[in-house]
Chains A and B, each alone.
Chain A
Amino acid sequence: GQQLNQSPQSMFIQEGEDVSMNCTSSSIFNTWLWYKQDPGEGPVLLIALYKAGELTSNGRLTAQFGITRKDSFLNISASIPSDVGIYFCAGHGISGNTPLVFGKGTRLSVIA
């Protein structure tokens, strides 16, 4: 089945630093999504991308849908302590009604 490779697995950064994480796939995706999951909670959608090349921002978060449709990245600028959590990329393949496929997550820790 489709798999997403997400990197890095974990990051430790200082408050105020910028963060970048990415996701790659061996197959083409029609939709790329970025979620954040806090401990004991379900994932919450941060950004959704629908077209190749699309660059979308949500506050300090910026994500892009790769031109090849096989990758996406998420940037967080000027990190703050509440950015701590696990960030997941996810995507839908090109066939209609394919299930959402998730990466393994990037665990972000912010040192104040």
Chain B
Amino acid sequence: EAGVVQSPRYKIIEKKQPVAFWCNPISGHNTLYWYRQNLGQGPELLIRYENEEAVDDSQLPKDRFSAERLKGVDSTLKIQPAELGDSAVYLCASSPYTLISSYNEQFFGPGTRLTVL
């Protein structure tokens, strides 16, 4: 079974430029997560989707970040315009379903390493 696929793996851009990351979750997983991982830190949640609905985007900086999951399968995370502080690894994860009182394992993709110059 294929894992979570992310592209590109690396991206270098100049500040103020736009950038987009793509994620294809594991087939059948209806929950999709975008995380940001700064150097030397653990991942931090940006947004969580249940199918095509964003159910938790409280940590997404909405002035410059946007995300979509139009058909409830793959997803795109966009930054426009990028700032120097956006340099980080952007991880996508998926899980099969979400129960309020239980934990369902999140499977992570390899991430996209973004460098903003």
Contacts and interface: CB of A to CB of B under 8 A. Distances in A.
Interface of A: 4, 30-31, 33, 40-45, 48, 50, 88, 90, 92, 96-97, 99-100, 102-105
B111 interface: yes
B45 interface: yes
Given A45-B105, A100-B45, 5 more contacts: A31-B103, A40-B110, A97-B55, A104-B40, A104-B42
Contacts of B106: 45, 100
Given A40-B110, A42-B91, A45-B105, A88 B4 contact: no
Instruction: Give the interface size class of chain B.
Output: 20 to 34
Interface of B: 4, 9, 40-45, 48, 55-56, 59, 91, 93, 98, 100-103, 105-106, 108-111
A42 B42 contact: no
26 contacts: A40-B111, A42-B91, A42-B109, A42-B111, A43-B108, A45-B105, A48-B103, A48-B105, A50-B102, A50-B103, A88-B43, A90-B42, A92-B103, A96-B100, A96-B101, A97-B55, A97-B56, A97-B98, A97-B100, A99-B48, A100-B106, A102-B43, A102-B44, A104-B42, A105-B40, A105-B41
Contact of B108 (A40, A44, A96): A44
Nearest to B56: A99
